[in-house]
């Protein structure tokens, strides 16, 4: 059925939403105030025609836009786009009945993303194709340019396609190349390779290693197991240089990382001891150790080992104690956090409800919560507020440019 729709707002997933008597209709790639004509099926538009465009509509900068599922908001002018991200944080907090100052969204420039997850498939002509999933589809969109990404990653795409070919040995393999630009070059960890039939053959491994050498990769690994390493991939965290674990976590954009770290450090300044929970390989640990001793904990043993390995690379830091510990199964209790008068958390998207519940019982006067999910952040913020903390301020960070994802830093005071 063809309908004419007026877009009322943009929803949390980045789609425009029109209100109709039959309920909301989701219209991808539209903006508030626009009028469209489209086929409507199951509450979503198909074969859409734009009748009246918003004055905030701009020309997308990627030739793949509209088909590639990597970006959903390139057609929105920067000002209202960043304000929309700010509003998503306000709405998440409002659902938990929390009011606070939500600062303007910190913008990041194009061409700065240092991490990509590239899917590899063999095309109809047998050629290896690298790219991202299409919108709402399993189909792969081959990517030749990407304005979000560091140009050095884009330049490496042809060589990475040759590396990927060896991992397509089994017809059921659906490899994903997790590519990171480090201080010593490209680090590539491959997942999605069929294992039930014996995994990657020795011959395929040798082809992959040869292609890695031709691509001048610093390291090539398979699901965290190193196949070949010509140079240790290194990253800088504050004054320290840290060896990145194979398949380890790293913030996607250095500028976004710097914005979050600076706010965390400023918030805990004056603390006698800081706990850095879900610390990874030390993104926040090392900058925090410039102002106070740090107790660091994370479930990743490889991350903790990397953090410890970086300790000798920086001078003048306060003492760092690091522990490998699953903070979901065994959150640090008030006894474990004795002496810590500030806590920094940077949990995954699921949040940290169990660990957050321990913090009101500590003597911490400041909690800095770094989040990639406003909904779980707001849920955990409710726990802290009920436990005697006040949410002083929240800063949204646009780490994932032109997507619906919102990162943030929240500062709580006792």
CA angle in degrees (0–180, nearest 5) for 147-88-346: 75
Of 324, 83, 44, the C-alpha closest to 332 is 324
Of 370, 405, 394, the C-alpha closest to 96 is 394
Please give the helix or strand (H or E) that residue 276 lies within, else none: strand 274-277
311: helix, strand or coil: helix
Q: Scan for tokens 């949410």, then name that residue.
A: 391
37, 45 Cβ separation under 8 angstroms: no
372 is catalytic: yes
Q: Distance between CA 239 and CA 250 in Å, rounded?
A: 16
Residue 107 phi/psi, 5-degree rounding, is -85, 150
Of 114, 112, 299, 280, the C-alpha closest to 188 is 114
Q: Distance between CA 51 and CA 4 in Å, rounded?
A: 9
Torsion of CA 210, 213, 218, 219, to 10 degrees: 0
Task: Identify the active-site residue in 68, 71, 340, 372.
Answer: 372
Catalytic machinery residues: 372
């Amino acid at each position: 059925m063809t309908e004419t729709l007026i877009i009322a707002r943009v929803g949390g997933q980045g789609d425009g939403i029109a209100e109709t008597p039959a309920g909301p209709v989701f219209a991808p790639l539209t903006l508030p105030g626009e009028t469209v004509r489209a086929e409507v099926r199951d509450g979503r538009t198909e074969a859409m025609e734009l009748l009246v465009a918003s004055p905030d509509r701009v020309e997308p900068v990627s030739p793949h836009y509209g088909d590639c599922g990597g970006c959903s908001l390139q057609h929105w002018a920067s000002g209202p786009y960043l304000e929309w991200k700010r509003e998503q944080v306000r709405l998440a907090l409002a659902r938990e009945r929390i009011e606070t100052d939500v600062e303007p969204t910190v913008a990041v420039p194009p061409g700065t993303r240092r991490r990509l997850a590239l899917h590899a498939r063999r095309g109809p002509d047998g050629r290896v194709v690298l790219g991202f999933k299409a919108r709402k589809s399993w189909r792969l969109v081959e990517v030749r340019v990407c304005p979000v990404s560091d140009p050095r990653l884009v330049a490496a795409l042809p060589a990475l396609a040759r590396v990927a070919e060896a991992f397509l040995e089994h017809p059921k393999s659906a490899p994903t190349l997790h590519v990171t630009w480090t201080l010593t070059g490209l680090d590539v960890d491959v997942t999605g390779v069929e294992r039930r039939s014996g995994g990657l053959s020795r011959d395929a491994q040798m082809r992959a290693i040869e292609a890695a050498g031709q691509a001048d990769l610093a390291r090539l690994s398979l699901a965290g197991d190193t196949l070949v390493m010509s140079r240790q991939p290194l990253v800088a965290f504050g004054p320290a240089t840290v060896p990145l674990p194979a398949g380890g976590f790293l913030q996607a954009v250095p500028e976004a990382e710097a914005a979050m770290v600076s706010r965390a450090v400023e918030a805990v300044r004056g603390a006698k001891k800081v706990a850095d929970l879900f610390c990874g390989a030390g993104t926040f640990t090392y900058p925090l150790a410039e102002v106070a001793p740090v107790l660091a904990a994370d479930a990743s043993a490889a991350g903790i080992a990397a953090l410890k390995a970086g300790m000798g690379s920086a001078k003048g830091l306060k003492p760092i104690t690091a522990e490998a510990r699953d903070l979901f199964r065994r959150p640090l209790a008030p006894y474990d956090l004795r002496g810590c008068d500030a806590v920094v958390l940077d949990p995954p998207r699921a949040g940290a409800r169990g660990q957050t519940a321990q913090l009101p019982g500590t003597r911490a006067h400041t909690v800095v919560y770094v989040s990639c999910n406003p909904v779980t952040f707001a849920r955990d913020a409710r726990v802290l507020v009920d436990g005697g903390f006040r949410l002083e301020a929240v800063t949204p960070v646009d780490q994932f440019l032109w997507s619906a994802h919102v990162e943030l830093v929240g500062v709580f005071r006792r």
